Each structure stands twice: as C-alpha cells, then as structure tokens.
Structure 1
Amino acid sequence: MNKTFAELGLDEHILQGVEALGFTTPTPVQEQAIPLVLAGRDVIASAQTGTGKTAAFALPILQLIEPYSRAAREEQARLAAQDKPAGEKDAPSSPAPDAKPGSPAAEGPQPDGPDVLADAADDGSASTSAGVDAQGNIQGLHRTRRRHHKKAAAGAGKAEATSASAKDASASKPKAGAKPGSRAKSKPGAKRAAAASDTKPGAPKRRRSRRRGRKSDVDLAPNPNAHPFGPFALVVTPTRELAQQIEDVVSVVCQKTGQTAVVVMGGTKLDRQIRRLEDGCDLLVATPGRLLDLMEHGHLSLRDVKVFVLDEADRMLDMGFWPSVRRIVAALPRERQTLLFSATIPPSIKGTVDAMLKDPATVEIARVGQTADTVEEHLCPVTQGQKLQLLEALLRRYDPERVLVFCRTKTRVDEVAQMLRRAGFKSDFMHSGRNQRERDRALERFRAAEVQVLVATDVMSRGIDVSGIDAVVNFDVPMDPEDYVHRIGRTGRAGHSGLAFTFVAPDEISPLREIEYFTHKLVPTWDLEGFDYDSTRIVPNPGRSTNKPTRSLFNGSRARGRGISGGRYGRHY
C-alpha cells in the first residue's frame, strides 16, 4: 500500500503546495527519496523518465531550508530599517517671504560651489558646465551637457570654408622638383579635415551609433544599498527548458511557503536576474554557464548553500559539463547535503560521485539502462537516402497528434523541419542555435498542439515534460546509449502508452549495438507496410546477443580458436 505525502514527513505548508500541484499519491521514487532527504542524507536516485523526480527533491529541500529563509528575512528587514532609502534627498527649503523675485534667496539653496562655465571652444565644439566644491574638485560629471554658446555666424563659417579651400588649393599644387604624374603625399587627417570643410554651416553633426542590447558595467554593478540573502539550496541542470520546468514546480510550492525561487540561465536578460538575486533568494535553479558568469562578476555567492542538487547527473558529470561543475562544487561549502537525480547513473561516473558525496543512500527504482514499460519500441532499418521518405510515410499512416523527432545535429534538424513544411505538416524545430524566446515559443506551440511535429536535438531529451506525445522518432541513432533512454522517455509518461521508432542506417549499426548492450534487450525490427525499401539497407540479425563481447588485444576471441589463424590477430608467440 502506497503512503501519502503527509506520512513522508512533509509539513503543512509543503502539503498545501502538493495539493496545489495536483499530486495525490507519491510515486515510488518520491516515496523512497523524500524521507532520506529530510533526514539529511546524501542521495543518489535513479528512476525512469516521467516518474516525478523533480518533486522528489524540490519538496523536501524547501522544507529543509525554511529556518534559514525565515532568519534571513528577519535580518534583511532589520538592515533595511536602519538604512536610509537609496536616492532620498533633503527637501528643498522654501524661499524667504520677503525675497524679491529673481534674487538668490528666492531661488532656494545654491550649490556648494559656483558653476564654472567654459568659454566657446576655438573649433566651435560645445562647451560644458560643472560645479566645483570648496577644494576645487569638479562635481556633477554625469549631468546632462548644456550648451552655453551660440553657433558661429553664417558669415564666419563661410570665411572659414573659403580659407580652408584656399589651403586645399595651395596644397594641391605640385612642389618644385616633383616628377610629372606623381601624387603628393597627404598628411594624416587631411581627408577628414577636407570632408569637414565641405559640410554646410549649421548642419547637424553626425553622431556615432551606439550598439543596443548591451548593458554597461555601471548598469550591471552590484547595488550597494541591497541586502541580498541566500541561496540556501542550489539546483544545477543542463538545459534552459529543464530549468524552467523545475521553476514551474517550485514556484507553486513557494507561494504556500512564502519562499523565493530564482532561475538564472542563458538566453535571458542578465539585469533582471541580478535584481531578483539582490532581493533575496531561497532556492536557486541555474544552468552552469550563467551561474559561473554571475559568480565571476560578484553578483552571487554560494557560501550559504546547504543543499546542492545535480539534476540529470549523468549528463552533468560527463566530460562536457564536468569542468564547469567542478568550479561550482569548489565554490560550495564543504559541509553540505548533495543530491544526484537522473534516469540513468552509469558506472563510468562512479569515481566522481564517490568524491562528491558522503556515505550516500541509493534509491534505484529502475536498473541502469532500463526503459519504460509503457513505451513500445520499433527498429526501422533504412538507408540514409530514404529516411525523409520513411518519416513522411510514417506520419501520414498514423497521423499522430504530437510527434517528437530527434536528430543528431542542428543542420540535420533544419533540413528535416524544412522538408516537413514542404510536405504540408505543421512543424517547428528546437536546437541551441535558436534564441531562448524562439525555443520557448516552439515548445509552447507544441504543448498547445498548434504544431504536429517538433524536430529537435538532444536539448529536448532531458527532463522535458510534455503530456500527450504520441510517438518519438529517432531520425538519427544517438551516439550515447543513455540519450536513447532519455529520448524515448518523452513518450509513455505518467502511465500512458507511447511509440518509439528508431531509423537505423548501415553506418549506424555500431551505435545501435551499444544501445542494446546498455539496455540489455533487443529493439525488435519493424517495417512499414507498403513502403518500398532500398535493397542496400542492412537488417540486423534477430538472434544477436545483448552481452557485449570482451576481447583482448593479444589473446583474441576464444570462439575462433588458438591456431595460427585463430583469434582476432592470430596467435602470438
């Protein structure tokens, strides 16, 4: 009999958030992981996709950091009461009742020092004014410039233009002794001076255009009047979409607990994220790149982190993300609680996991490489040249409402999406080459069933929860076997059934075999009825093994004997 969320040790405010999320019964990973996290243990949790791993770590850590959140808010309120509000100025004194209009007394208080007005410059440029204090230091450098002289008269401008043209005429005459046809060397800046002399008097000067969209260092500088606190819990995730999905869960619970969750990720405005951090943060959800940027510029400190979570830990600890994760871990306190959650925890990262965690508890709902039972897998042998035709025929045959197509590269995604549009399918695409607004719009259109097919790279394979995906198509076989498990896990979620089709070309047999070795099961071969397959395709042997053979360089394969011609390289003496 399954337990209820109240029996797992969650307090009243968290239970109100659970009710707001619509959860009724905890999943197996939630039932096992939540009590361990509340007990302060380091946890390694692996479960199939779509089993509620986000809530398994989000609910207990919000309860764990609640005392720190309450104390930090009390301290922030005390400091704010002591400080004078930023930007507040003394109220101007009213003029004397008997002061005459226009007198200094009627105009109110004057600056500390007199205004120093610069005379008109010789070159006709605008002058500036600035106040000085008693020591002679210039004040008000950031004030708007004011012009205190009139532009030169038109007659003076004509005279200057005449003199400049006369100088140009004298300069254009060849010097004595110069060779015929030779050109006189012009002095540096002569062309610019000539261009300036050609301009009409009184014409507005051309101003250099400024690049928009880039904030200056002054705008992004830390606010000295802010009293930030936290974060007390940090969740690091590989993709922006997954970070937004975690925010959707924790923001609902935070409304009931009175805590604050902040998401920082690339592709969004940096200044808004900085201002939110300056207001205080209890739970921080971040992607590695943006997190390191904020740390390097002094906008964020991790010294108060009590709980550290690595979501999709297998991807975060591989060679691609590991350098960034190592820098983040180095900035964390030594005394902390560390949680690793993923659908797969491969043995290859065991050494890194042992160095990060202290006596971890293991929650293993599914063995390594196990796929969801609700997904029906199909292997479609086809040549590379027929993949587009097979995809079109497959979509027309089944006519699903939502289909997710995975490709290996961004160029491949663009090609497939363009072909589907030409064929009349409502499709969109997602990859790292698109900005965050375009990626969000494509995902929302897919969720709302405004597009039938979404073509994407593996940016969509990790943790993205879109209900109602009827089928997943692996247009290219993934090179990483773990990506295969995450890809097909986008369908068949929350107990619903789904279909997974994998197109395998002759040059993709090797990665297919690695997937079958990893999952320890064969993907059954399937052909689309009525489709004219090319005779050059390779159909895998139905009796192939799922155990990866182990071969030694010098011993060779024992199955081939030990003769002079046996083994992989023959017999070595």
Structure 2
Amino acid sequence: MRHTETEPTATAAAGQAATGDGAPDDKAQKRRRRRGGRRRRGGRARTVAPDGGKAAGREGGGEPRREESARRGGKGRGGRGRGRDRRGGQGVDESYRERGHAERPAGPAPEVDIPAFAALGLTGDLLAGVGAMGYVEPTPIQEQAIPRVLSGRDVVGCAQTGTGKTAAFVLPILQRMSAPMAADGKTAHPSALVVTPTRELCGQIEEVGETLATYTGRRVVAVFGGVPYDPQARRVRKGVDLLVATPGRLLDMLRQGDVLLDRVDTLVLDEADRMLDMGFWPDVKRIVDAVPAKRQNLFFSATMSKTVLGIIADTLHDPVFIELGGSATPVENIEQRVLPVNQDQKVDLLVEYFRHHDPERTLVFTRTRRRAERLARTLNKAGVTCEAIHGDRSQSQRQEALDGFKEGRISVLVATDVVARGIDVEGISHVINFDIPTNPEDYVHRIGRTARAGASGVAVSLVTAEDVHELVAIERLIGATLERHDLPDFTYEKRNILESHQVRPRPGKLVWNGGAFRAWNKTGVRRRVPGKRSR
C-alpha cells in the first residue's frame, strides 16, 4: 500500500518548537495554537495563519491583495488595470502580446463581383470585405439572417457549427452603422456590442470582423480577461464601432469608465447557451441592463434550448426565429463513431488509434483540466506532437498552442469544453471525445470543430460502462444511434458496456415538484410529502 508523507502544519510546528522537550504550553502558546486552526465566522470556515492574519489567495497561500494588485500592474483598489477576469481564477498573463492590427481603411475598396452576397443587400465596401474573406456563396444561415438583420428585426439564429454564423451578424451590423465613431480619447462609445463566453471565440470574432470591415473605416475591437488590462483599455479609448467582449472584462471596463454602452443600438449574444452553462448569466444581465432599452437583439448559437429561450424571451421584441438543420443536429459531413473501452484502457486505445490513423490535425476533448495536461504529456511520450489548452493555462500559452495547431507544428490539441467554442481552425480532420461530455449539447459543439465550411470529418467517442447514460442522452438529442466499432489489433480486456437500448434511466434521483418530491422506482413515479421519510 502506498503512503504519502505529510509535513506538519505550521501550527503544529510552532507548538512543538515552543514546548521543547515535552514541556507544557503556556497560555500564550495555547492562544497561538487556537488561532492557527480553522475558524467559523458567520457560518463560513476561513483559514487563519498562526500569527492571526488571514491567509491570502483562493487556494490557501499567496500574496496579500494589495501586493497582488501591484504585481498585476494595477493601482490598488479602484485603480486602472486590475485586469483580472472575475471568473478566471488566474492572474494576468503579463507575457501576452497583442497581435498586430491593420489600419482602417486599407485604401479604396476594389470592385468585386459577388452577386450572391449583393442580392442580400450588402454594399460595395462590405462586398470587398466579403471578397477578402474568400466567400463566394452565402451559407444558409447567412442567406436567412443577413436580410432580416438589415431590416432591423430581432433575430434568434440556430445553425450548425461551422456554417458562418459570425459573418451572418457582423456583415449586416457593419452596414447598418450610420453614426460616426465617437472617439474622445477617454471613453469608448460603441454602437454595437457582441458578448461571447470565451477568449478564443472573442478573438476569432474580432479577426473576422476586422477583415470584413477592411474597407469600411469601422473599428472592431475585442476585450477579454486573463491578459493585461491597460493595452486593451488604450485601444478602446481610441474609439470603437463594434466591441466584442467577454462578460468579466467588459464589466471591469464599465466600472473603470473606459467603456459606456449608452449608444449601443445592436446587442449580440453569441453562444448564449454556453454563457448560461458557465454561470455568466448574472453578468450578462448586468450588461443588458446597461444597454439602452431601444435596441436590436441578436442571439446566435449551434444549440438553443428551451431554458435559454425562456430566459432571453423578455429581452426580445417580435423576433424572427431561424433554425437550420435542427437545434442540435451535427453537420451531415461528419462521420460519427463510438469505440467502447474499459476506463483503464482508454489511454492505450487512444495511443493505438493514433498509430493506425495519422493525427494530421486532431482535436481531443477531455472533461477536466488536469486530465488534459496528463493526456498531453502521455501522448508526447508516445511520439505524438501534442499540446493542451484549457482554462488554467495563461492566455499566451493558449494562443501559442492554438497558433501551433493552426500552422501544423502541433498535430494534436487536447482541450476542455471551456475553450471548445473558440477553436476555429481549418482542416481539422478528427475530433476525439476522450471523455464523453456530461451535457449532450456540448457534444454537438465539440464535433462541430471538424467538417467546417463544407469539408468532411470524423468524430470518435471513447465510451466506458460509466458513460452509457451520457451516450444515450447524446443519441436522443441528435436523433440517431451512433455505430460502435472495435479497433483492429488492439487487445481489449473483458468489457461489460451496455448497448443503448439496454440502458435504463438512472434510479433514485429526487427533484422538487411543487411541494412534493418525485422519485423514480420500478413502477414509475412515487410521490411523498416533504419532510416525511419514505421506506
């Protein structure tokens, strides 16, 4: 049996040093020992250092707040540049460097002949931007959404991942802008705002927006947490027409007075369902309340549940609902497979899979950050060029891994769901679910990283006996039963993994139902009075 040596606590060490050879503690030493333990104040435990001072940092340890603020380049409480994303849990990445931004406009707009986009009502400057993106024919979501957004209607758009939703709202927003950009060097007054859940998605929308706005003279700027505050604040103070932001950093800028939303006439919530899942909705509500009530609302996502629709309903005015391919339907060009395997053979199976299939550009998803790190190390040892990308990594590390993946220097990228929706890389051939997602809608977003813009791709899911309920939920959502395969030449241990039709609902889950509890049993639903124990 393996044992772990533990160091004595600071309190115990102090007590031992003070007592010497077993001498009894005096009253002062006893008080120090009592102060060194855990205390409860207001029903909430807090850790106190032996000297009576509160331990700094969320994880127990760290620098005092004022020193931490100075280290991050801030000016203490209320000063500019605090720069910590409220939900990130990570300090600012001081090594992060902004990518280059071209001056706008980039000269006179060239004449381009793209009749399919011109028929949607787009003007010459934007058509030149469409040509710069390489678009020739609009996708179904673009064809349906652009004319309606141009007409000023509220739009809820639900379409498969990789079908061009970003351009579907950025193009008409840029065309509808009529007022000149407000730039006083002190506070930004954007006329359009896009709120997104992740930094990667935020940067992706900025890149697309900058390209589409190349010849319009409009400025598209992205702000997000985990990176120094001041460089982003300086950029927005110069003026911005279309602001793309994550909730935490945007609220920071609102508090500091670097951004005012008093002139926003178009609000976009991109991946609204993910913001709800990540707990951003209270922050989003604060942002919505800071925007003028008279505005255009646009909501876009690959999945739009009834829960999300119910929450956003009070912000919409006579909306148009556009649903293409079903609310949770993967792209038809994705070949979906399931590889049943025991939990302790998952890593070996994945390594063997890469021996049979050249991982030219493969995205692997795990459920936790720690597992992503471990798996990346294991794959590198097995000879697979691999990097991990997740919320615990600094922004520069995440960007470096993503750039290496885009440029082909890294063949496999191991990621968590937090960054899944911001990974927009052309030519991803395989998406592998090393861990099945607990939320079935995340499956649609994960595998949507491949087969983008009409290409084809393969999605592989490693399923264990513990994952069968999640697999059934996924199959129910997408309306299809996924085929199961075995990997040739791999020595499987004895498996006992149920087929989808053999899986029964999980028993015994209690939920509140209007004053009574419901509990599933063999006969169906059983009701009992709250507070009364059932036999």
TM-score normalised according to structure 2 size:
0.72
Conserved 8 A contact 1:317-1:352: no
- Offset of residue 455 of structure 1: 0.6
- The yes-or-no answer on 1:320 pairing with 2:279 is yes
* Residue in structure 1 matched with residue 179 of structure 2 by the alignment: 68
Which residue number corresponds to residue 370 of structure 1?
329
Q: Does 1:31 align with 2:143?
A: yes
Q: Distance in 1 between matches of 2:492 and 2:485?
A: 12
Out of 390, 394, 418, the position equivalent to 1:435 is 394
**Aligned AA (2:283):** S
Q: For residues 518 and 135 of structure 2, what CA distance do their matches in structure 1 show?
A: 58
Alignment of 1:223-302 (within 5 A): 226=185, 228-302=187-261
Match of 1:15 in 2: 127
Q: Distance in 1 between matches of 2:410 and 2:203?
A: 21
Q: Deviations over 1:416-442 (max 9, x none)?
A: 001001111111110011111111110
Superimposed CA distance per residue, residues 340-365 of structure 1 (whole angstroms, 9 cap, x where no aligned partner): 00001111212112111111101111
In the TM superposition, 1:59-458 aligns within 5 A as 59-65=171-177, 67-69=178-180, 72=182, 226=185, 228-318=187-277, 320-458=279-417
SS for the counterpart of 2:213 is: helix
Identity %: 47
Do the aligned partners of 2:187 and 2:260 also contact (CA within 8 Å) in 1? no
Superposition map of 1:468-483 within 5 A? 468-483=427-442
Structure 2 contact 202–422 (Cα < 8 Å) conserved: no
What does residue 495 of structure 1 align with? 454
Task: From the superposition, tell whether residues 439 and 388 of structure 1 become closer, same or farther in structure 2 (CA, over 3 Å).
Answer: same
1:430-465: CA deviation from partner (whole Å, max 9, x where unpaired): 001111111111001011111111111113421421
* Native 8 Å contact 1:3 1:26 kept in 2: no
Q: Tell me, what secondary structure is at the counterpart of 1:500? A: strand
Deviations 1:486-528 (A, max 9, x none): 0011111111111111111111222222212222211111111
Aligned residues: 408
How do 1:541-556 and structure 2 match up within 5 A? 541=500
Q: CA deviation at 1:227?
A: 5.2
Q: Secondary structure at the match of 1:494?
A: helix
Q: CA deviation at 1:555?
A: 10
Matched AA of 2:238 = D
Contact kept, 8 Å, 1:3 with 1:31, in 2: the verdict is no
Structure 2 distance, partners of 1:377, 1:260, is 41
Secondary structure in structure 2 of the residue aligned to 1:411: helix
For residues 471 and 503 of structure 1, the distance between their equivalents in structure 2, rounded to whole angstroms, comes to 13
Partner of 2:159 in structure 1? 47
Distance 1:308 1:554 in 2: 40
- Distance of 1:26 and 1:536 partners within structure 2: 47
CA contact (8 A) 1:378 1:525 kept: yes
CA gap 1:333/1:528 in 2 versus in 1, 3 angstroms: same
- The change in CA–CA distance for 1:227 and 1:298 in structure 2 (over 3 A counts) is closer
Structure 1 residues 383 and 20: alpha-carbon distance in aligned structure 2, compared to 1, 3 A threshold:
same
1:56 aligns to 2:168 (yes or no): yes
CA change 1:389–1:35 in 2 (3 A) is same
Indicate the structure (1 or 2) with the bigger Cα radius of gyration: 1
**C-alpha contact (below 8 Å) 1:556/1:570 kept by paired residues:** no
Mark the CA change 1:421 to 1:299 in structure 2 (over 3 Å): closer, same or farther: same
Deviation at 1:542, TM superposition (A): 5.7
Give the aligned residue type for 1:308: L
Residue 68 of structure 2: aligned partner: none
- Whether contact under 8 Å (1:477, 1:503) holds in the other structure is yes
2:297 alignment partner, SS class: strand
Q: Which amino acid letter does the alignment assign opposite residue 363 of structure 2?
A: L
4+ runs deviating over 4 angstroms: 541-546, 550-557, 566-572
SS in 1 for 2:119: helix
CA distance in 1, matches of 2:336, 2:186: 54
| Contact persistence 2:193–2:268 (CA under 8 A) | yes
Q: Which residue of 2 aligns with 1:195?
A: none
Equivalent pair of 2:468/2:500 in contact (CA under 8 Å):
no
2:19 aligns with none
Alignment CA distance shift 1:44-1:3 (3 Å): farther
- The 1:61/1:568 distance shift into structure 2, 3 A limit, reads closer
Q: CA deviation at 1:545?
A: 10
In structure 2, relative to structure 1, the CA distance for the partners of 1:10 and 1:570 (3 Å cut) is closer
Q: CA deviation at 1:276?
A: 1.3
Local SS of the residue matching 1:54 = helix
> Aligned AA for 1:54?
T
Per-residue deviation, 1:568? 6.2
Give the conservation status (yes or no) of the 8 Å contact 2:198–2:422.
no
In structure 2, relative to structure 1, the CA distance for the partners of 1:262 and 1:507 (3 Å cut) is same
Could you tell me how far apart the structure 2 residues matched to 1:570 and 1:304 are?
53
Deviates more, 1:520-529 or 1:46-55: 520-529
Cα distance in 2, alignment partners of residues 409 and 464 from structure 1: 17
Cα distance in 2 for partners of 1:296, 1:422 equals 47
The residue number in structure 2 matching 1:117 is none
Cα distance change on mapping 1:554 and 1:402 into 2, 3 Å:
closer
- Letter of the 1:409 partner, please give it: T
Q: Distance in 1 between matches of 2:297 and 2:527?
A: 50
Using CA pairs below 8 Å that are at least 6 residues apart, which structure has the higher relative contact order? 1
Question: Given the superposition, is the C-alpha separation of residues 30 and 541 from structure 1 closer, same or farther in structure 2, using an over 3 Å criterion?
Answer: closer
Distance 2:370 2:246 in 1: 24
Letter in 1 for 2:180: S
Cα 1:328/1:234, change in 2 over 3 Å: same
* Structure 2 residues not aligned, in runs of 5+: 1-113, 529-533
What SS is found at the alignment partner of 1:404?
A: strand
Query: Contact conserved, 1:237 with 1:316, CA < 8 A, in 2?
Result: yes
Letter in 1 for 2:144: Q
User: Following the alignment from structure 2 to structure 1, what is the Cα–Cα distance between the partners of residues 400 and 167?
Assistant: 25
Structure 1 residue 556, shift from structure 2 partner: 6.9
Question: Which of 485, 508, 511 lines up with 1:526 in the alignment?
Answer: 485
